[in-house]
Structure 1
Amino acid sequence: MKKIILSAIAMMAFAFSNAQETRFGVKGGLNISTLTGDVSDNKSLIGFHVGGFAEIKVIERLAIQPELLYSTQGSKFKYGAPDVKMDYINIPVLAKFYITKQFTVEAGPQIGFLVSAKQNGYDNFKDDLKSVDLGFNFGAGYNFTDNLSAGIRYTVGISNIDDTEFDNVEDYYDYSIRNGNLALSLAYKF
């Protein structure tokens, strides 16, 4: 985790020192999330994300885009099991490549901080989950104008969110629950 954070800081420092242009913006949209790994009989939960970002041009076709997002995630379960709803503050740092002036692709790491966790809206089980979640993003975007854009992004969870203690290492690797999130966004740059 330290390597990811240090790499993100180094990329941002490089980008700021060589930045040709920096633009700020706001974004929001729809989340379609689920839990993956050692989970069965679950289906997608609809949520939202909202926040801000900075687009820092490094060269003509490449930008670094750090974001700060509030994101609702979780999963619904079949057969009467309680739905899981979690709120995160996510900080993705993306490398954004302009294929054309309108079409972009992006990828990069994300760190998320758990704000709350509830089952069926009542039971608070935040203490049963890890407070930090790591993920990796990849996506694409389309710029309608210089200011207005839309995007689609999938976040693959790479860390186990369950804070259950295990007696041996083999049990830990056999039991892993991760976040998965598809985000559809609208963004406005100033």
Structure 2
Amino acid sequence: MVKKLLVVLFLGLITVMNAQEESIRFGAKAGLNLANITGDGTENLDMRTSFHIGALVEIPLSDKFALQPELMYSAQGAKFEFSDFGLTDESTIKLDYLNIPVMAKFYVVEGLSIQAGPQLGILLSAKEEGEDSIDGEYEEDIKDFVSSIDLGLNFGLGYQLEAGIFFEGRYNLGLTNINDDDEAVDDSSVRNSVIQFSVGYKF
């Protein structure tokens, strides 16, 4: 699957090189992440509110279709709370990624687009930070237990103003099991799940 995604990214770069220079628009965007981890044993996890920021290029293919590769820093993960028998534990799983989405865009009407496309995520760091009633505050590096590659699919909507400002809403469905703990007793499967709201500007 990684090879297939790399082929898609490569074809996107070829399209960039062949597109007319005056029709390409570069831009930047940032916004809100509502991130979570779903799958086996994640019932007690809640959304982590965080952010994303990065750059993009929009390549028109026709009046209705465009391709939009992006390079994004995305802070993801989840939050955990436990309280029972006088014991408490509140922690945040912080997974930071360099994400490379390639979005296909269809303009329904002028300015309004439906978007979908694959995403390659490269893990930059993974930590668990929190406080419990036994050890107090703690911080643990968990990068060795998280897969270094995360593949996903994005679905969303976007609206572009004539002035260059645009707004996007997107859902990232994780396809890769990010559990990479070889010593785990059970072979649990967990995946990233992220809702994103962005505002940006195209030059």
TM-score when normalising by structure 2: 0.85
TM-score when normalising by structure 1: 0.91
8 Å Cα contact 1:49/1:72 also seen in 2: yes
8 Å Cα contact 1:12/1:64 also seen in 2: no
Q: Which residue, out of 2, 21, 24, partners 1:22?
A: 24
In the alignment of these two chains, the number of paired residues is: 186
1:109 is aligned to 2:118: yes
8 Å Cα contact 2:126/2:143 also seen in 1: yes
Aligned to 1:153: 170
Equivalent position SS for 1:165: coil
Aligned to 1:48: 51
Percent sequence identity over matched residues? 40
**Structure 1, unaligned stretches of length 5 or more?**
none
8 Å Cα contact 1:15/1:58 also seen in 2: no
Task: Give 1:5-154 correspondences, 5 Å limit.
Answer: 5-14=6-15, 16-19=17-20, 21-38=23-40, 39-79=42-82, 80=89, 82-120=91-129, 122-154=139-171
Note the C-alpha offset of 1:72: 0.4
CA RMSD in angstroms, aligned pairs only: 1.9
Deviates more, 1:8-17 or 1:154-163: 8-17
8 Å Cα contact 2:12/2:69 also seen in 1: no
Note the C-alpha offset of 1:146: 4.0
**Structure 2, unaligned stretches of length 5 or more?**
83-88, 131-138
